[in-house]
Amino acid sequence: MAIEQTLVLIKPDGVQRSLVGEIISRFETAGLKIVGMKSVWADEEFAKQHYTEDIAERRGEQVRRWLLDYIKEGPVVAMVLEGANAVENVRRIVGGTEPKSAPAGTIRGDFSHISFAHADEQEKPVRNLIHASGNAKEAEQEVALWFSEEELHSYKTVHDVHVL
């Protein structure tokens, strides 16, 4: 069992829709520990560090531009969550990238419904409320980008008794 850290961003639409508390509650209820959290309003340079050019290679430059504009349109709540297999468990709680396809019971499945096709037709990003690191390597890079070591705090919770 790997105790991991992973990055979660509640994107501007999640903040603007007042879903921050509900989203955090889902992670805490599952036994994940918040070891860092802050509100950030990303500027262009910081957004480009998060959505690097490799996204343009995978998804196209227009999609990257939409993602850059999206993450800059309002504050995000950035969190580092820690727990057993945190990357995989957070991704399961969040649901698939396309809200229309995300299962009920997941954050995206319960609070959003937009499809890739609709977003493309409207020429805008898929407003899917939340970002979660895709794998352990990405989590390590993203945590280091969004948080300094001084902003991360270790402590015990009741869940640690059941996990460790």
Residues designated catalytic? 131
Is the Cβ–Cβ distance between 69 and 94 less than 8 Å?
Answer: no
Q: Which residue is listed with tokens 């990257």?
A: 64
Q: What is the DSSP letter of 97?
A: S
Contacts of 82 (CB under 8 A, 6+ apart): 3, 4, 5, 6, 32, 33, 34, 35
DSSP E strands, 49-115:
76-84
